[in-house]
Amino acid sequence: MKKFILFFFLFGIALSSSFSQTITDNGPEAAGFSSERLKRMDIAMKDWVDKGYMNGGAALIIEMVKLPITKRSTILYSQVTADLIIRNGKIIDGTGNSWYHGDVAVKDGKIIKVGYIGDMPSTKTIDAKGLIVAPGFIDVHGHIEGGIINTPTANNYIFDGVTTVITATLFGHNTVRAQVMKRDNRSPTAAEQKQMESLVEQAMKQGAVGISTGLIYIPGAYAKTDEVSALARAAAKYKGVYASHIRNEENSAVDAVNEAINIGKEANIPVQISHFKIGGKSNWGKSDITLGLVKQAREEGWDVTIDQYPYTASSTNLGIRLPDWAFAGGNDSLKIRLNNSTIRAQIKKEMLEQLASYKFPNYSYAVVANYPADTSLNGKNISESIN
Ligand SMILES: [Zn+2]
């Protein structure tokens, strides 16, 4: 069965502050309660807290009980009809606590209660039995910069449960390498390495949160492990993180995950492996190994984390299917190589070999998401596009 995750979009902290807000905004008159009735409810609430059956809501209740009576109103749950109650979910509240079974009540766009809710009436109820109910996710790896202008409501993120995006704060290895070494397919000289390290340090001082790599992309693919480790060390000096698009996500994925973890160890820096996956039919099932490596590193005490696409496929540019060496020197050099029949034949040979090694008969497994130069190709697979 497909698993769903329901999101409640506020964290516990936001919950208590928004609740206090509601309370102070509304006097008892607004809710139409007599002070006598409020007193009775006060006693009842204390009783609920003492009995402990308010669960996650208990802290809130205590907060409210502390408030002067005249400041209370909407807190009186038994009088409230929620707009939505998500019932029987496994609540993971985002504070790092273990999950617990509970309900979440929402009114006027705010969470009014988390925990055991009892028979509070509600306009709409969702049964989340067997499902996780969690606050919005934080996307540490958004490519939201351009898109947010076209879609300011960020629905594409919201529908995936992402409510916070961290953006433009990682300093890209490809950027720094291209700046110092252009698209050269070689290792840096000592001076170039030093220059790259000082660029990383400068970025960290200017507020970057760490360094990211794209080791399947050009020119990052030309970098050896020690180059990246040294740059990660430069970021670690300023408490940065190392976020990696690892070197290979297909036939050499195991080596690539090991490399990312080892860079973390060598540079003593937290590692975030981006878009964790296994590509290529021949590699299906290897995630047992790669996940095992991450688990083992974590058990040894290393800060290694991973994230995944919210979809099953991988998404990137088409050039990624050409051998790395073909791009050396930049796009002009690539064009020259493609126009040279001998080199072109070699590129084709390597592409076909790679395809065979993934156990795919052709490129029909890959679909064009967006090709601005000819949008009629959008939605077609690569084999269809060629014909
Ligand atoms: Zn990415």
* Residue 55, Ramachandran bin (φ over 0: left; ψ between -120 and 50: alpha; else beta): left
Residues 11-46 pLDDT 10s: 332 333 333 223 333 333 333 445 555 555 455 545
- Check: CATH 2.60.120.10 for 5-135? no
pLDDT at 46: 52
Residues above pLDDT 70, as percent of the chain: 79
Residues 338-378 pLDDT 10s: 999 999 999 999 999 999 998 889 999 889 998 999 999 99
The closest of 31, 26, 4, 257 to 127, measured between CA atoms, is 4
Report the separation in Å between the CA atom of 292 and the middle of ligand 1, taken as the mean of its atom positions. Answer: 22
Q: How far apart are CA 302 and CA 266, in angstroms?
A: 11
ω into residue 361 within 30 of 0, thus cis? no
Report the separation in Å between the CA atom of 325 and the middle of ligand 1, taken as the mean of its atom positions. Answer: 22
Q: How far apart are CA 368 and CA 17, in angstroms?
A: 46
Report the separation in Å between the CA atom of 275 and the middle of ligand 1, taken as the mean of its atom positions. Answer: 7
Give, as one character, the DSSP assignment of residue 359. Answer: T
Report the separation in Å between the CA atom of 310 and the middle of ligand 1, taken as the mean of its atom positions. Answer: 12
Report the separation in Å between the CA atom of 273 and the middle of ligand 1, taken as the mean of its atom positions. Answer: 10
235 pLDDT tier (thresholds 50, 70, 90): very high
Q: What is the CA radius of gyration of the chain?
A: 27
Residues 73-90 pLDDT 10s: 445 555 789 999 999 999
Report the separation in Å between the CA atom of 147 and the middle of ligand 1, taken as the mean of its atom positions. Answer: 15
Across 190-211, average pLDDT? 96
How do beta strands 82-91 and 100-107 pair? antiparallel
- The structural domains of the chain, with segments of one domain joined by +, span 5-135, 170-306, 318-386
- The model's pTM is 0.66
CATH topology of domain 170-306: TIM Barrel (3.20.20)
Report the separation in Å between the CA atom of 315 and the middle of ligand 1, taken as the mean of its atom positions. Answer: 9
The closest of 92, 84, 97, 89 to 135, measured between CA atoms, is 92
pLDDT at 33: 43
Burial of 205 from C-beta contacts in 10 A (0-12 / 13-18 / 19+):
exposed
Q: How far apart are CA 13 and CA 24, in angstroms?
A: 17
